[in-house]
């Protein structure tokens, strides 16, 4: 009998109980799954950092922490965590959601939709947008989500550059790897999308100097993490016109405080951290597969590199 603790915010249990049960049953596993369990018995922890659990030493038999979220910045440095940590990689749900969000927001700015949706002065300015092939888009962070978005945008014809620690091989995309290529990746970009994890190395990666490398009037989309951007530098770039618009889904403090200048800024679109979320049905299958692997001695999928922080 496998003992699985569901450790997430209490309201999540109602969403995940049946999908997890279905996924575990489909793999023929013999298990107990509950949000309440004697810590001494727990073998797998299905986890979200908002669960309130932060002392993993209380679970002496635990074999893995299976994070429900893609981002692990709130758990990866926990000193009590000495067992494998897997993060959420779910092509059907999380990845697909991010591709849709990024594609939609890129197209909004590429096509200049705002000018026609809100046009109180009935201005008739018959200027067509350029084709996608003339719109350079740079994606910082070219992992699971960045590559999926890059493929989708390249498929629409955009001139895509993907930047990561190591260069990738993605057809139709220019990929660059390492710190010394970041300036090249940003130079002349008209739209920049941040899909980096938050680590000490990526904090404030988009600062004043790097914002100045973008094409004048560039657009910034941040569905990654708030602290990837130096907020003051972004506000200055918006005010100077160097950045014409920022669509931000993530913030240093969430929910974004009511008095934060982003709310009132005419060139900022605030989204409430909804770019993509873990979808219970498909995520449950990812979790169940990792538990099956743990039980059969196979390597876990989607393990976090604790030293790298993601
Ligand atoms: P991955 O781990 O698959 O990809 C991360 C990418 O960032 C990799 O390409 C990695 O490089 C690169 N990277 C990491 N550190 C550096 C660095 N110092 N310099 C250059 N590149 C670096 O993560 P995902 O694509 O699955 O997710 C990315 C992030 O998206 C998550 O961490 C999370 O913060 C955010 N997210 C936001 C959501 C939302 O709703 N707003 C939903 C889901 C995720 P390399 O490939 O060389 O290792």
Relative to the CA of 147, which ligand 1 atom is closest? 25
pLDDT 10s digits, 118-140: 999 999 999 999 999 999 999 99
Find out whether the beta carbon of 224 lies less than 6 Å from any atom of ligand 1.
Answer: yes
* Ligand 1 centroid, distance to 145 Cα (angstroms): 7
Task: Determine the Cα–Cα distance for residues 85 and 199; give it in Å rounded to an integer.
Answer: 16
Relative to the CA of 276, which ligand 1 atom is closest? 40
In this prediction, residue 71 carries a pLDDT of 97
Residue 198's pLDDT band (boundaries 50, 70, 90)? very high
Task: Determine the Cα–Cα distance for residues 262 and 212; give it in Å rounded to an integer.
Answer: 20
Find out whether the beta carbon of 249 lies less than 6 Å from any atom of ligand 1.
Answer: yes
Would you call 273 a catalytic residue per the annotation?
yes
pLDDT 10s digits, 227-250: 999 999 999 999 999 999 999 999
Residue 92's pLDDT band (boundaries 50, 70, 90)? very high
Domains assigned to the chain = 2-91+278-296 (3.40.50.720), 93-270 (3.40.50.720)
pLDDT 10s digits, 22-78: 999 999 999 999 999 999 999 999 999 999 999 999 999 999 999 999 999 999 999
Would you call 245 a catalytic residue per the annotation?
no
In this prediction, residue 267 carries a pLDDT of 98
Say what the pTM is.
0.97
């Amino acid at each position: 009998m496998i003992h699985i603790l569901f450790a997430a915010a209490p309201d999540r249990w109602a969403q995940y109980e049946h999908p997890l049960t279905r996924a575990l049953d489909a793999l023929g596993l013999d298990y107990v799954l509950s949000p309440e369990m004697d810590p001494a018995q727990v073998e797998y922890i299905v986890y979200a950092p908002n669960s309130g659990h932060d002392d993993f030493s209380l679970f002496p038999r635990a074999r893995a922490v299976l994070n429900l979220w893609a981002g692990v910045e709130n758990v990866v440095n926990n000193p009590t965590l000495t067992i494998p940590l897997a993060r959420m990689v779910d092509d059907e749900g999380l990845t697909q959601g991010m591709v849709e969000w990024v594609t939609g927001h890129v197209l909004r700015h590429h096509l200049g939709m705002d000018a026609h949706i809100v046009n109180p002065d009935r201005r008739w300015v018959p200027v067509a947008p350029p084709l996608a092939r003339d719109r350079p888009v740079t994606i910082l962070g070219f992992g699971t989500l960045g590559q999926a978005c890059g493929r989708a945008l390249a498929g629409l014809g955009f001139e895509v550059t993907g930047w990561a620690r190591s260069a990738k091989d993605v057809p139709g995309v220019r990929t660059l790897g390492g710190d010394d290529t970041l300036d090249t990746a940003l130079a002349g970009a008209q739209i920049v999308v941040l899909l980096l994890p938050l680590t000490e190395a990526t904090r404030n990666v988009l600062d004043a100097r790097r914002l100045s490398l973008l094409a004048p009037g560039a657009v910034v989309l941040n569905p990654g993490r708030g602290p990837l951007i130096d907020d003051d530098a972004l506000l200055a770039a918006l005010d100077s016109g160097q950045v014409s618009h920022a669509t931000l889904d993530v913030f240093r403090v969430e929910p974004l405080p009511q008095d934060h200048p982003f709310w009132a800024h005419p060139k900022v679109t605030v989204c409430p951290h909804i770019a993509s979320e873990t979808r219970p049905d498909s995520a449950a299958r990812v979790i169940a597969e990792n538990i099956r692997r743990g039980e059969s001695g196979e390597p876990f999928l989607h393990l976090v590199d604790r030293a790298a922080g993601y």
